[in-house]
Structure 1
Amino acid sequence: MSALTTGQQATARQAREALTDSRQLPPTASDNDRAHMLGRLEIALEQALRLIDELTGGS
């Protein structure tokens, strides 16, 4: 991952953290907690896709 810029590394780290936190969400989590996590995952996915486009020259 050292070939990535500091910002790109942060994006990848945040996406991993969001996924890990989502997987650790307890079955008893409230609907509000689930909605918050879904929003967080959506943001992480959008950022990850931008990073992929940036690295591959896609649009």
Structure 2
Amino acid sequence: RHQWIGEGTIGPEPFRGIMRDPRLAPVIKIIETPKGDDPIRHDRRMLRRLRAYARSGATVGPRKP
């Protein structure tokens, strides 16, 4: 079942990592979230959240062993 970005089982940190990893910058991302009664409003809300994740904190890269 789909959830709002950062509010489901995965949580916000993996999304922050995806949005901040420079290796993934050129990769097109597709999101599937619940739409509710106003699909455009909900999509805009999720895009704002993803953009905020991209701006927050330091850039991440591959983990060191």
TM exceeding 0.5: no
**Higher helix content, 1 or 2:** 1
Shorter-chain TM-score bucket reads 0.3 to 0.5
Give the structure-2-normalised TM-score: 0.37
Give the structure-1-normalised TM-score: 0.40
